[in-house]
Amino acid sequence: MAQSSNAAAGVDNTFRRKFDREEYLQRAREREEKEAEGRSKSKSRGPPVQRKPLKHRDYEVDLESRLGKTQVVTPIAPLSQQAGYYCSVCECVVKDSANYLDHINGKKHQRALGMSMRAERATLEQVQRRFEVLKKRKDTGGFTEQDFDERILKQQQEEEERKRQRREKKKEKKKEKATEEEPEVDPDVAAMMGFGGFRSSKK
């Protein structure tokens, strides 16, 4: 009996997990060293990218070419043929014109074009040259009341011409309808019946 009690005393029946503190401290140090190396590598990949300053758009933004047109859209169509405005630089589709303008003026699009969001600082000479160009444009482009009256008169004449052409087209359509609706009658039969035709005398 005494032997069995001694044997039971030697058994570890606490079921608690024991951690080796030194081992885990060592692992933590190694992980921190790896992270520090990764950070230094990412920083030392190369010199920072030099982006060009913002510049004026040298093309017209086309927002109205597909206005009022119907387009069949399928889910398997490529992005460039889907509904909305397609940006070939960023390869994305924007659903309306306001968001499209926001996109092409935004940071992501400008970075893809290789530009930063900072404008180039103008020198004194550039500003003076710009003022001279604007002054010349203002002097040469003098707009008088006579020019204004001439433009109004020209627009009125063009509008009258368009109205006249519309009236002529309507008359032609009416004539075509009238000739289509007239029944075809044999002239011999009409003469036997005692009348020259089915046309009305009104014109």
**What is the DSSP secondary structure assignment for residue 84, as one 8-state letter?**
S
Position 66 scores a pLDDT of: 81
Q: Is the pTM of this model over 0.75?
A: no
> What pLDDT score was predicted for residue 68?
83
**Domain spans, the chain:** 79-137
For residue 41 the two structure tokens come to 């590598």
11-47 pLDDT, tens per residue? 666 666 777 788 888 999 999 998 888 776 665 555 6
Half-sphere CA count of 106, side-chain side, radius 13 A: 13
Whether 102 has a pLDDT exceeding 90, the answer reads yes
Query: What SS3 class is residue 50?
Result: coil
Q: What six digits make up the tokens of 174?
A: 């009416």
121 φψ region: left (φ > 0), alpha (ψ -120 to 50), beta (else): beta
pLDDT, residue 137, reads 82
